Amino acid sequence: MPLIRTAPDLREKLSILSADAQYDLSCATSCGTGDSRKRGLDDRWLYPVTLQNGGRSLLFKTLVSNACANDCKYCPLRAGHDATPRCTLSPEEIVRAFLPYWKSGQVVGLFLTSGVCGNPDAAMARMLATAEILRLRERFRGILHLKIIPGASDAAIDRAVSLASGVSLNIETAGAEHFAKLTARKDYLQSVIAPLKRIAALTAKGARYERVKTSTQFVVGASDETDREVVRYMGGLYGRLGMHGIYFSAYQRGLGDPTLPGETSAATNADLLAREHRLYQTDFLLRKYGFDADEIGFDATGNLPLDVDPKEYWARRHPERFPVDVNRADKAELLRVPGLGPVAVRRILNARKGGGRVRSLESLGVRGALARKAAAWTTC
């Protein structure tokens, strides 16, 4: 008897599409390390999100479709690479799958992304239809993050921003020259940079959609960009485009086209994961520690050293700034001390109020490796 394969049902589609959604990290999730996803009902992945009050909850995340007309060489879902069964969810199917999670309080929102099934606006239309059902019919007021498809029209971008609480569009790499090594079907300036600028204008301070959070993602090591180039772009994304968050996804060998620079470089998968981690640490320096992009140090190859974190590397290059007196230094100086983070700095400043003095970092709860590291750069 011949094997007859029936079309996948909703549960099977969600199992396939939620697993394939792992390749896109650019959402409201934490920038920390480690895989803190949780597998929910029916094998659907739920992703962590940091709330405005500092608490944590989960997002329901799925692809609308894993069929894709683009040829992004790093992506396992690229056109012509048929290792994954292809399927597409209708807007009603997504709503039907998501609502039980939301109504039971298991998640606070929905993240939608998609392959380019047809053309960019056709892919956007499915996400927008889902968003409209949730917002208008179901009166959903939770977190709704929509992925903007590269090459989407201005009208599609505008509608997405009007419906979402967060949007993202992946920049992928630093510059058109490196981008051309990843794809032949997308134009960097028109498909990526122009939409990012439009999103920035729509969500700028004082604009109508200022409340909407924006983010992007670099695929680290698929092309041949250096960390210096990535950090320069990060400075522009934060400084000129007002981006709220930048994410990094280390390219893992074997997933992409064998002609990729990432497949032929000397870097191992472990090296690329370490590089991703250093870029996240650098991102924290830019967003939380008051560093500028041009202050970040690189090795002779233009990359972040893998054997030392970027803040300590900066400190080693500026011995004239140390040791820092924890009883005299201001907040900006304390934040530049290796081993001290925002929480420890806040405790130091609170302990000094009213003429108080810090006798030791351990008395403030800074212990272990962080205390030993900070002690080498401070004095009480």
- DSSP characters over 15-46: HHHHHHGGG---SSS---SS---EE-GGG-EE
Count Cβ neighbours within 10 Å for each residue of 91-116 and write b for 16 or more, e otherwise.
bebbbebbeebbeeeebbbbbbbbbb
Percent share of the chain, pLDDT over 70: 86
pLDDT tens digit sequence for 238-259: 999 999 999 999 998 888 899 9
Q: What is the pLDDT of residue 53?
A: 44
For residue 60, name the pLDDT band (cuts at 50, 70, 90).
confident
Which range has highest mean pLDDT (223-232, 255-264, 359-368)?
A: 223-232
What are residue 213's DSSP bridge partners?
Answer: 166
Domain 318-379, architecture per CATH? Orthogonal Bundle (1.10)
For residue 95, name the pLDDT band (cuts at 50, 70, 90).
very high
For residue 355, name the pLDDT band (cuts at 50, 70, 90).
confident
Beta carbons of 129 and 91 less than 8 angstroms apart: yes
Query: Is 236's pLDDT higher than 50?
Result: yes
Domain coordinates in residue numbering, the chain: 10-310, 318-379
Query: Is 371's pLDDT higher than 50?
Result: yes
pTM above 0.75, yes or no: yes
Q: Write the CATH number of the domain with boundaries 10-310.
A: 3.20.20.70
Determine the average pLDDT of the residues in 340-362.
90
| Position 342, amino acid | P
Residue, of 281 and 33, whose pLDDT is higher = 281
Q: What is the pLDDT of residue 34?
A: 42
Q: What is the mean pLDDT of the chain?
A: 87
Q: CB within 8 A of 369, min separation 6: which ones?
A: 339
Burial group, residue 319, by CB count within 10 angstroms (0-12, 13-18, 19+): exposed
Q: What is the pLDDT of residue 26?
A: 47
pLDDT tens digit sequence for 307-326: 999 999 999 999 999 999 99
For residue 47, name the pLDDT band (cuts at 50, 70, 90).
low
pLDDT tens digit sequence for 1-41: 333 344 567 777 766 666 666 655 444 334 344 445 455 54
Beta carbons of 127 and 160 less than 8 angstroms apart: yes
Relative orientation angle of helices 91-103 and 10-20, to the nearest 10 degrees: 80
**Phi, psi (5° rounding) for residue 109?**
-175, -175
Query: Is 208's pLDDT higher than 90?
Result: yes
